[in-house]
């Protein structure tokens, strides 16, 4: 049977469990046709590049399918009718990789990066809330020779 990858984008007011339920519906269609879901990745709630049906964010889900072309057409039809699915796209592929997708591996790389040190002073900072540096004359360090004696000479 041919292999497919389907990415679906669901509305942001759904919960993760409801998005998983949509994926289960797809799995039921594939199972009835004698296929299976080989890969299933929830990518999380992510920002959209532009508004889709008044949504700025959406839940993303990737499904790796091993099914017949007729089952794929039925999945496309069902996802198009589902009111919670904003967009979906299915591609025919040669192999389904067992490794995590680029989206999930990028997310783990961001977490591993860790603390990068203190933030340098900005070149264009406004200067508000920041005390002036020790450049002023009254804060400059002076040597003992420059200081006047305490007893005072009159």
DSSP β-bridge partners for residue 59: 10, 45
pLDDT score of 39: 93
pLDDT score of 148: 65
List, for residues 16-65, the tens digit of each pLDDT value.
999 999 999 999 999 999 999 999 999 999 999 999 999 999 999 999 99
User: What share of residues in the chain are helix, strand, coil (percent, to 5)?
Assistant: 30, 30, 40
pLDDT score of 47: 94
Which of 66, 78, 76 has the alpha carbon at shortest distance from 33? 66
pLDDT score of 106: 78
pLDDT score of 126: 57
Which of 51, 72, 81 has the alpha carbon at shortest distance from 5? 72
pLDDT score of 99: 86
pLDDT score of 102: 85
Q: How many Cβ atoms are within 10 Å of 73's Cβ, its own excluded?
A: 11
User: Is the CA virtual torsion 17, 19, 25, 29 positive or negative?
Assistant: negative
SS3 85: strand
pLDDT score of 104: 82
Domains of the chain, earliest start first: 3-94 (3.30.70.60)
List, for residues 80-139, the tens digit of each pLDDT value.
999 999 999 999 999 988 888 888 887 766 666 666 666 666 666 555 555 555 555 655
């Amino acid at each position: 049977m041919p292999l497919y990858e389907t990415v679906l984008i669901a509305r942001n007011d759904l919960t993760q469990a409801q998005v998983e339920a949509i994926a289960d519906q797809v799995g039921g269609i594939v199972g009835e046709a004698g296929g299976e879901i080989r890969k299933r990745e929830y990518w999380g709630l992510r920002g959209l590049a532009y508004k889709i049906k008044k949504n700025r964010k959406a839940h993303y889900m990737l499904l790796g399918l091993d099914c017949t072309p007729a089952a794929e057409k039925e999945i496309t039809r069902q996802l198009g009718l589902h009111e919670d699915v904003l967009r979906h796209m299915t591609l025919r592929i040669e192999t389904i990789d067992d490794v995590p997708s680029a989206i999930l591996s990028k997310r783990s790389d961001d977490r591993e990066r860790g603390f990068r040190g203190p933030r340098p002073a900005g070149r264009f900072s406004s200067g508000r809330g920041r005390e002036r540096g020790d450049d002023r004359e009254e804060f400059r360090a002076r040597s003992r020779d420059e200081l006047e004696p305490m007893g005072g000479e009159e």
